[in-house]
């Protein structure tokens, strides 16, 4: 089943939510189907009915959680506002650095699943951010640079603060505002 048709099933959506938590905190190899079934109060056959196997579950969880990120990035408005919105969403949806999920790709054996994960990240997050950076360059909001590099710099900044807003006595939107300001203006005294 694809992610959209799964969302019509309450059990499947519950599995996706719990799977997101488990894969983030334990990684692909550390997360067990037994633990997920226990957390969801269901049997392995039920989980396999919806997802087939652990790899497909992982792909579906990534799709479920990243679905809609491109819509936040592609909204019209000033660059700073758009970047702040996506930074807030990343800070709120991820509990651990997103690159941990990307590293887990090395444990995926099915080449089709690897391609699907790349396509999800590219279509929902990376590609839209590159377009956003290019738009910022085109409208004079950013200096002429490589939008791919700007995207990776931006993502690197945000990634380092995932799960850390409380350390700075801030909520995620306030932290996102500060991080976008640093990205756009640097840290020079103004």
pLDDT tens digits, one per residue of 14-44: 999 999 999 988 889 889 999 999 999 999 9
d(CA 91, CA 111): 30
Residue 177 has pLDDT above 90, yes or no: yes
- 89 and 163, same domain (yes or no): yes
* Contact partners, residue 40, CB within 8 Å, separation at least 6: 11, 14, 15, 18, 47
107 band by pLDDT with thresholds 50, 70 and 90? confident
Mean pLDDT of 166-183: 96
pTM exceeding the 0.75 threshold for the entire prediction: yes
* Token code pair at residue 167: 């350390």
Q: What local confidence, expressed as pLDDT, does residue 144 receive?
A: 84
94-133 in b/e burial notation, b at 16+ Cβ within 10 A?
beebbebbeebeeebeeeebeebbeebbeebbbebbbebb
Q: Whose CA is closest to 149, among 114, 183, 174?
A: 183
Task: Give yes or no for a contact between 70 and 128, defined as CB atoms under 8 angstroms apart.
Answer: yes
Task: Give yes or no for a contact between 108 and 57, defined as CB atoms under 8 angstroms apart.
Answer: no
Q: What local confidence, expressed as pLDDT, does residue 3 receive?
A: 56
Residue 6 has pLDDT above 70, yes or no: no
CATH of the domain at 151: 1.10.357.10
Q: What local confidence, expressed as pLDDT, does residue 5 receive?
A: 54
- 108 and 155, same domain (yes or no): yes
Q: What local confidence, expressed as pLDDT, does residue 66 receive?
A: 93
CATH of the domain at 12: 1.10.10.60
Residue 159 has pLDDT above 60, yes or no: yes
> Domain range spanning residue 113?
68-185
- 81 and 165, same domain (yes or no): yes
* Token code pair at residue 72: 């936040």
- 142 and 84, same domain (yes or no): yes
Q: What local confidence, expressed as pLDDT, does residue 103 receive?
A: 75
Q: What would the pLDDT profile of 109-147 be if each residue is shown by its tens digit?
A: 999 999 999 999 999 999 999 999 999 999 999 998 899
- 99 and 39, same domain (yes or no): no
Count of domains for the chain: 2
| 127 SS3 class | helix
């Amino acid at each position: 089943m694809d992610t959209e048709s799964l969302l019509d099933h309450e059990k499947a959506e519950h599995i996706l939510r719990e799977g997101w938590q488990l894969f983030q905190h334990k990684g692909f190899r550390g997360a067990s189907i037994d633990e997920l079934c226990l957390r969801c109060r269901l049997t392995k056959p039920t989980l396999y009915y919806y997802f087939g196997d652990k790899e497909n579950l992982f792909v579906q969880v990534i799709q479920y959680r990243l679905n809609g990120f491109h819509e936040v990035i592609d909204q019209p408005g000033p660059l700073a506002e758009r970047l702040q919105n996506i930074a807030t969403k990343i800070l709120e949806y991820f509990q651990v650095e997103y690159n941990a999920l990307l590293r887990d790709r090395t444990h995926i054996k099915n080449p089709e699943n690897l391609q699907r994960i790349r396509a999800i990240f590219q279509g929902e997050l990376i590609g839209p951010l590159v377009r956003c950076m290019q738009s910022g360059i085109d409208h004079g909001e950013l200096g002429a640079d490589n939008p791919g590099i700007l995207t990776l710099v931006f993502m690197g900044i945000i990634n380092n603060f995932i799960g850390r807003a409380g350390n700075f006595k801030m909520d995620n939107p306030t932290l996102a505002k500060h991080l976008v300001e640093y990205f756009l203006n640097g840290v020079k005294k103004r």
